[in-house]
Amino acid sequence: DAGVIQSPRHEVTEMGQEVTLRCKPISGHNSLFWYRQTMMRGLELLIYFNNNVPIDDSGMPEDRFSAKMPNASFSTLKIQPSEPRDSAVYFCASSPPVGGSYNEQFFGPGTRLTVL
């Protein structure tokens, strides 16, 4: 079975450019999460969706960041314009419908973003 798929795996861009990160959740999962990992701040939740609807975007750092989930099988995280401090590993995770108890989040391999 395919796990969470993220693309690209590595992205190097220059300051000011637009960056789009992509995520395909596991089929049948209805919750999707975007996390960012940096040395300074560790792993932090940016935004999450339930049934394609954004539930909590309080972790999105600035208006330069936006996320969409147009359908159950695809989500994007966009940074426009990018800045060097956005350099990080961005993880996408998905989880199945809740069935009486919390369900495990399955993480993708991450996208390593470097903004020069």
Partner 1 sequence: AQKVTQAQTEISVVEKEDVTLDCVYETRDTTYYLFWYKQPPSGELVFLIRRNSFDEQNEISGRYSWNFQKSTSSFNFTITASQVVDSAVYFCAACSGGGADGLTFGKGTHLIIQP
Give the interface with partner 1 as residue ranges (CB under 8 A).
Answer: 30-31, 33, 35, 42-45, 48, 50, 55-56, 59, 89, 91, 95, 98, 101-107, 109-110, 112
Tell me which DSSP letter residue 113 carries.
E
CB of residue 19 to partner 1, shortest distance in Å:
19
d(CA 75, CA 25): 8
**CA nearest neighbour of 38 among 105, 101, 110:** 110
CB of residue 81 to partner 1, shortest distance in Å:
26
Judged by CB, which is closer to partner 1: 72, or 89?
89
CB of residue 78 to partner 1, shortest distance in Å:
19
Read off the tokens for 13.
Answer: 């861009």
Q: Which residues pair with 13 in a beta bridge?
A: 115
